[in-house]
Structure 1
């Protein structure tokens, strides 16, 4: 009696071929692939899969818990993200020099959120003045920022409607100064 050939299975494919298949999927589907099994979860985390990702069609980008968003990384990526409207950087190690590339290349931003970004200082804020379409700015828990730098930036952004400063330990007098300086802006105080 002849042996019945085994049914074809993705499990039989080598990792290199599965990575090639995963690289052809849209980003959302790549990420969902991590739920298939432990092997696929490991493959989805492989650096090879994320080396060449086209982000140009996206209007929203969220980086959360990224160990370090380097100046070089921002410089390279920002030129591909010119249509980006919403950028969220949560718990990212981000230096002031990265804001230069945000201000230079991401001119269409309407929402910018920095949250728990411990190295962002007053020196990085002037680069954001060129974001003329910015409506919402969150500087949540960016504790190295001064009142004066925030007011100066807020006054330079003509469309700014919402400012989140929660987690920054300003006293009441400072909070009132910011509110008085930006009367057309909804304000979430510290």
Structure 2
């Protein structure tokens, strides 16, 4: 085997281990069949610290097999993709599998799940070691995130297009965990009163993303009052008015701001906000209400800050 004119076989083990760690798990297993050396390297524990299985739909049996053979105490990140249309006996996760995962992989920090039915999985089954939980297009039961359940160390929560996620879930998650990161996309059941009730529990938040989740100027006001430690703030598909902009001047640690602006927001209001934020280095404006001339005026007055404009919300 050769790469860029260099025989792969002459590369040191340390280099090959880094290369193998970048490959999808399936390719790592295929590499293990090349020769004894490749098998030793491909199955080395350092290669299996971060495992992303989300490119394919995975069955419960396949995940059990991987857990028994290749997932070990050094696993830090696991991402997997199930199927919401599967019969219950073929669902990706079960309390027993999660219990085995937590026992065998006590250092697991990040669990990312896509298209997974979790309605029969109690929240306390989630490994207690988790610092980050990512849910994309999953189904969750009404009782998730309730007080007293694991994981205790959760600091980063990402919920994208989870239709059941509601005000109740948000309040339970925020009141139980000291979150540093909260990313909510397409959570259409969330309401502005629900976001306002959760805000006082998010004083330690450093990154907040709200996209299409019922936020408005009242929510922006709550952010300004309670989340003064924010470094990154994104509010998209929830247009902010001039009144809302003024509420954000208290975010003195803010470094990146992405906003979808409502109609009749003036360049002066945007400039006044950004000039009041001494740490701001990246401004991204979304929406068709601001033309090129207005953005040029904003850039001219914000020389300390990179400014970009997108007429349409990013995917």
Instruction: From the superposition, tell whether residues 68 and 161 of structure 1 become closer, same or farther in structure 2 (CA, over 3 Å).
Output: farther
Question: Which of 1 and 2 has greater Rg?
Answer: 2
Equivalent of residue 306 in structure 2, options 182, 186, 190? 186
Tell me how far 1:182 sits from its aligned partner.
1.0
Question: 1: distance between equivalents of 2:180 and 2:208?
Answer: 8
Matches for 1:99-110 after TM superposition, within 5 Å: 99-110=220-231
Asked if structure 2 preserves the Cα contact closer than 8 Å seen for 1:70 and 1:94, the reply is: yes
| 1:135 is the counterpart of 2:230 | no
Relative to the length of structure 2, the TM-score reads 0.46
Asked if structure 2 preserves the Cα contact closer than 8 Å seen for 1:23 and 1:30, the reply is: no
Asked if structure 2 preserves the Cα contact closer than 8 Å seen for 1:97 and 1:124, the reply is: yes
Matches for 1:68-87 after TM superposition, within 5 Å: 69-87=190-208
Number of the residue aligned with 2:279: 159
Instruction: From the superposition, tell whether residues 53 and 151 of structure 1 become closer, same or farther in structure 2 (CA, over 3 Å).
Output: same
Number of the residue aligned with 2:144: 49
Question: 1: distance between equivalents of 2:133 and 2:281?
Answer: 35
Question: 2: distance between equivalents of 1:94 and 1:188?
Answer: 23
Unaligned runs of 5+ in 2: 1-88, 96-119, 146-168, 311-315
Instruction: From the superposition, tell whether residues 85 and 131 of structure 1 become closer, same or farther in structure 2 (CA, over 3 Å).
Output: same
Number of the residue aligned with 1:6: none
Higher RCO (CA < 8 A, seq sep 6+): 1
Number of the residue aligned with 1:98: 219
Alignment length (residue pairs): 165
Tell me how far 1:25 sits from its aligned partner.
2.3
Relative to the length of structure 1, the TM-score reads 0.73
Supply the RMSD in Å over aligned alpha carbons.
2.9
Pick the structure with more strand per residue. Answer: 2
Q: Deviations over 1:144-176 (max 9, x none)?
A: 333222111111111110000143342222111
Q: Deviations over 1:28-65 (max 9, x none)?
A: 66959x9xxxxxx6xx5222224432553321101101
Q: Deviations over 1:54-108 (max 9, x none)?
A: 5533211011012254343223211211111000011222121111110111010
